[in-house]
Amino acid sequence: MKYALRLFTIMFVFLASASMAAQLPDFTELAEKSGQAVVNISTVKLVKNQGNMQQFFPRGPQGQHPFGDFFDQFERFFGEQGQGTPREQRSLGSGFVFSADGYIVTNNHVIEGADSIKVNLQVDKNGDRSYDAEVIGTDKETDLALLKIKADKPLPYLAFGDSDVLKVGQWVMAIGNPFGLDHTVTAGIVSAKGRTIGAGPYDNFIQTDASINPGNSGGPLIDLDGKVIGINTAIVASGQGIGFAIPSDLARQVIEQLKEYKSVKRGWLGVSIQNVDENSAKALGLDQASGALVSSVTVGDPAEKAGIKAGDVIVAVDGVSVADAGDLTRKIGDLLPGVKITLSVWREGKTVTIPLVLGERSAEKVAQGRPGAPGSQGEDVLGLSVRPVAEAEAKALELDRAQGLLVVEVSEGSPAAQNDLSAGDVILEANGKAVNTVKALKDVIEGDGKEKGVVMLLVKRQGRNVFRTVPLS
C-alpha cells in the first residue's frame, strides 16, 4: 500500500511538472526569426582633450604644482602640440530594422553626439554585415532616433504591434547587445504599464522583468507573435528585473513623423497644469480627484484665446477622460498643430465645453530664479504671516501690478507648511476669489472655506502660478 502511494505521488509530481512545462512558451523559433532584424549599433565620438600635463598631478596648498618649474620648461620647449588632441570615445547599443529598405529604430541616447555610426546586421549564415548609418531624425523628449542604411538587398524586419492591448503578466522577449554581447535573448513578463520614471513629459513606460542591461538600449521588446510592443530604454541600476520600454504605439507615431518631417510636431495648449489631489477636488466640488488643474495660461497661446482660465480643470479631450496632468500632456502631444479639438472643463461647479485649435509645441521656458522676499511682518492666517504686496515689490515678484498677499513667514508644522507654502509666495486667490487684503483672505476662510473644509490658494511662485490646497479641519 505504501509502495503504491509513493508511486502515485511520484507519477502525480511528474505529470504536474510535465503539464507546467507544456504551458511555458518556447522562444527558440521566435528568437531565431526575430533576431535577424535586430542590429548592433556602435558609435564613435571625438572628444577633445583639455588642459596640459599639469592637470594630472596634484596641486600644493597654495595651488602650485610641486614640479611647476619642470612643467614650465617642458611646455616652453615642446610647445602645446599635445594639447587638444581629440580622442575617440566609443559606445555600443541596440536597434532593429522595421522596414525592408533599411530604416532602423534606436534610442536617441545611443547615438546622440556621435561623429560616426556603424550598424552591424546578422542577416544570414555568412556572419555580420556592417553599414554606415545616416541619422534621419531624433526626438529627445521620447528618447527615440531614426537611422537609415543603404543595404544591397531587402532586409528582414520587425513589425510594430499594439501596445495598447498589452496586458500585465503577458510573456515578452528582449533582444539586444548587453555589455557588447551580440544578439542576446532574454524573456520575462510585462510587470506593469503606464510607468512614470521622470525621463520626460511623455513618460508612459512598459515595465518588464525580462533582463535588460547596458547595451540593450534601443533593442525591441517582442510579444509571442513576433511584434515589437516596446523599445527597451531604461533600467533601475540598483534593482534586478526592473526594466522599462517605450510603448510601440507612442514610438510608431514619433518614427512616422521623423520619417516624414525629420522632426516631431506636437500640439500645444499654452497652460501650466498640475494634478488634482483629494483636497483640491473637495475645494472645487469635483466628485473625484482626476483631470488637470490649470494653474496659469500663457497670453496669446491657444488656451488663452479660447477662454481657458486659471482654476479650470480640464477633464476630457474630445470626449476622452483626462486622468491627470501627465495624461493631458500626452493626449495633446499626440495631436498635430492646427488640429481643432474640444475640451471639457470643470468651472464653478459645472462642466463647459470649449473648442480650440492647437498651436505647436516649442522649447520649454527656463525657470527664472525667485527674488528674495522683502518686507515687514504681516498678520497670521493658516500659519502664514502675510501682507499686501507693495507697489515697489511687484516687478521683483514678477507681478504685472501690485496685487495679492506676500507670504513673509511660514510657521513650522502649520497647515500651510505641510502643504508646500513658503516665504516669497504671493497668494492671488482663495477658492477662486481675488485676495488683496488680509481681511479678504480671512473672509473666504471663514465662509466658503469652512463650508467646504478646505481653501485652495492660487499662488505666484518663481514667475509661475501654482495651486496649493490647505485643509481647515
- Known binding residue 236? Answer is yes
- Known binding residue 351? Answer is no
Closest residue by Cα to residue 268 from 382, 141, 146: 141
- Known binding residue 237? Answer is yes
- Known binding residue 417? Answer is no
What CA–CA distance (Å, rounded) separates 404 from 390? 10
Grid coordinates given for 464: 509661475
Q: Which residues contact 408 (CB under 8 A, 6 or more apart)?
A: 373, 375, 376, 377, 378, 385, 386, 387, 423
What CA–CA distance (Å, rounded) separates 93 from 81? 34
CA distances from 288 to 54, 74, 136, 281, 459 (A): 64, 74, 45, 6, 23
- Known binding residue 248? Answer is no
Cα-Cα-Cα-Cα dihedral sign, residues 284, 285, 289, 294: negative
Q: Around Cβ 464, how many Cβ atoms within 10 Å? A: 15
What CA–CA distance (Å, rounded) separates 231 from 59? 47
- Known binding residue 194? Answer is no
- Known binding residue 235? Answer is yes
Which helix (H) or strand (E) element contains residue 194?
strand 184-195
Closest residue by Cα to residue 34 from 259, 244, 219, 250: 219
Which helix (H) or strand (E) element contains residue 457?
strand 454-461
AA identity, residue 421: L
353 within 8 A of 317, measured Cβ to Cβ: no
What CA–CA distance (Å, rounded) separates 13 from 255? 50
- Known binding residue 143? Answer is yes
Grid coordinates given for 232: 527597451
Active site residues: 109, 143, 217
Max Cα distance, the chain (Å):
99
What CA–CA distance (Å, rounded) separates 372 from 121? 58
- Known binding residue 242? Answer is no
101 within 8 A of 58, measured Cβ to Cβ: no
Q: Which residue has the cell 508511486?
A: 7
Q: To 5 degrees, how large is the angle CA 298–CA 299–CA 304?
A: 80
- Known binding residue 174? Answer is no
What CA–CA distance (Å, rounded) separates 273 from 351? 18
Q: Which residues are annotated as a binding site for substrate?
A: 109, 143, 215-217, 233-237
